[in-house]
Amino acid sequence: DAKTTQPPSMDCAEGRAANLPCNHSTISGNEYVYWYRQIHSQGPQYIIHGLKNNETNEMASLIITEDRKSSTLILPHATLRDTAVYYCIVRVGRGRGGSQGNLIFGKGTKLSVKP
Smaller CB separation from another protein, 15 or 106: 106
Is residue 62 within 8 Å of residue 53, measured between CB atoms?
Answer: no
Q: Is the dihedral of CA 48, 39, 10, 106 positive or negative?
A: negative
Which of 41/115 has CB closer to another protein? Answer: 41
The Cα 74–Cα 56 span in angstroms is: 9
- 110 pairs with which residues across the strands? 9, 85
Q: What is the DSSP letter of 17?
A: P
- Separation of alpha carbons 27 and 73, rounded Å: 17
Task: Write the binding mask 73 to 92 for another protein: x where contact by CB under 8 A, - elsewhere.
Answer: ------------x-x---xx
User: Footprint of another protein on residues 3-62 (CB under 8 A)?
Assistant: 32, 34, 36, 41-47, 49, 51
**Pick 26 or 105: Cβ nearer another protein:** 105
Min. distance of Cβ 16 from another protein in angstroms? Answer: 26
β-pair partners for 114: 13
Count, residues near another protein per rule CB under 8 A: 30
Residue numbers of the site for another protein (CB under 8 A)? Answer: 32, 34, 36, 41-47, 49, 51, 85, 87, 91-94, 96-99, 101-108
